[in-house]
Amino acid sequence: MWSIAGKTVVVTGGTSGIGLEAAGVLATQGASVVLIGRDPGRVDRAIATVQARSGATPRAYLCDFSSLKAVERLADALGRDLPAVHVLINNAGSVFAKRTMTADGTEATFAVNHLAHFLLTERLRPLLVASAPARIVTVASGRHFKGTMDFDDLGFSHGYQILRAYARSKLANVLFAAELARRLEGSGVTSNSVHPGRVATNIWSGAPTWTKPLIRFWLSRTFISVEAGAAPVVALATAAEFEEVTGQYFNRFTPVSPSSVAQDRGVAARLWRESERLVERLPLSVPHSLS
């Protein structure tokens, strides 16, 4: 039977919230955890937290997911340093009060939440396949039900709103995970996406200042704990019952139908092509070292 003990698990957004909690739980279960974070101080604190909890020291890498070049360098470093990747948890996520463009010219919510994970997963795909049986868990959201996919204006040059941009990025997560599952068929690598529940984390720290008191109220009254939010992510990464489950969208522990757009294979294929086009704009002569 599949067991996580001794397996290598890469967790993006491992410095806070669901990612940090999942990393801690997985390390206590004997996984060899690899944390990805963007801020050196927060990465150091996350290493210390996981270490205190599990007694094991996770590997950690710095990468700002708003830069495709940084994601390329990360993928190169992981490919060089890790003999195997058995679980990839695509979890890092953010929101932006005002429309923000990355240095690559992509709207930042879409870039961080979807495009960076698309690129990282594609670059790690050969290693995941070589490590099979392996699992890819993409942390999406029930917000994807509100998401639309306008390929003529993916970056909301018109009508940007924080929640619309977030919903689109989470719809992209669900479409990507499903399309990836189709492309990985027969490889021994599964791909699923999950809504973890409404979890009291830092995810809304990028929301407008005037909304913060409301969000704090909301978080304290209606949101579940980080422990409860991380539980379905850990289950998808480890549980024997999900070993061969692929191409599903989970509402916490239950596979459910995502939105009708999220089920549209044509939209998924178009998003894949568009994502390839956006990541292929990368200059080819990027220095391959972690800065």
Ligand X SMILES: NC(=O)c1ccc[n+]([C@@H]2O[C@H](COP(=O)([O-])OP(=O)(O)OC[C@H]3O[C@@H](n4cnc5c(N)ncnc54)[C@H](OP(=O)(O)O)[C@@H]3O)[C@@H](O)[C@H]2O)c1
Residues 261-290 that bind ligand X (CB under 6 A): none
The piece of 16-24, 72-80, 180-188, 246-254 that touches ligand X (CB under 6 A) is 16-24
Give the orientation angle of helix 116-130 with respect to helix 162-183, to 10 degrees: 20
Q: For residues 114 and 177, what is the distance between their CA atoms, to the nearest angstrom?
A: 10
**Cβ proximity to ligand X, 131 vs 169, nearer residue:** 169
Q: Which residue is nearest to ligand X (CB)?
A: 17
Residue 152: exposed, middle, or buried by beta-carbon count in 10 A (0-12, 13-18, 19+)? exposed
Q: Does 201 bind ligand X (CB under 6 A)?
A: yes
Residue 82 is given by DSSP the state -
280: alpha, beta or left? (left if phi > 0; alpha if psi -120 to 50): alpha
Distance in Å, CB of 61 to ligand X, minimum: 10
Distance in Å, CB of 30 to ligand X, minimum: 23
Nearest alpha carbon to residue 40 among 65, 64, 10, 21: 64
Nearest alpha carbon to residue 175 among 162, 193, 187: 193
Residues 111-150 that bind ligand X (CB under 6 A): 112-113, 139, 141
Q: Does 39 bind ligand X (CB under 6 A)?
A: yes
**Cβ proximity to ligand X, 64 vs 104, nearer residue:** 64
Q: For residues 221 and 140, what is the distance between their CA atoms, to the nearest angstrom?
A: 22
Tokens 């101080």 belong to residue: 41
The piece of 79-87, 193-201, 252-260, 269-277 that touches ligand X (CB under 6 A) is 193-201
The verdict on whether 166 is a catalytic residue reads yes
Query: Which listed residue (49, 54, 94, 259) binds ligand X by CB under 6 A?
Result: 94
Nearest alpha carbon to residue 148 among 165, 130, 128: 165
Q: Does 38 bind ligand X (CB under 6 A)?
A: yes
Q: Does 16 bind ligand X (CB under 6 A)?
A: yes
> Of 61, 160, 166, 249, which residue is the catalytic one?
166
Q: Does 199 bind ligand X (CB under 6 A)?
A: yes
Which backbone phi and psi does 206 adopt, to 5 degrees? -90, 5
Q: For residues 191 and 248, what is the distance between their CA atoms, to the nearest angstrom?
A: 8
Residue 225 is given by DSSP the state P
Q: Does 155 bind ligand X (CB under 6 A)?
A: no
The piece of 152-160, 175-183, 192-200, 241-249 that touches ligand X (CB under 6 A) is 192-200
Q: Site map for ligand X, 202-241, x if CB under 6 A?
A: xx--------------------------------------
Q: Does 18 bind ligand X (CB under 6 A)?
A: yes
Nearest alpha carbon to residue 171 among 143, 196, 198: 143
Q: Does 195 bind ligand X (CB under 6 A)?
A: yes
**Cβ proximity to ligand X, 5 vs 290, nearer residue:** 290
**Strands (DSSP E) along 78-233, which ranges?**
87-90, 134-139, 189-195
Residues 61-80 that bind ligand X (CB under 6 A): 64-66
Catalytic machinery residues: 166
Site residues for ligand X per CB under 6 A: 13, 15-19, 37-39, 42, 64-66, 91-94, 112-113, 139, 141, 195-196, 198-199, 201-203
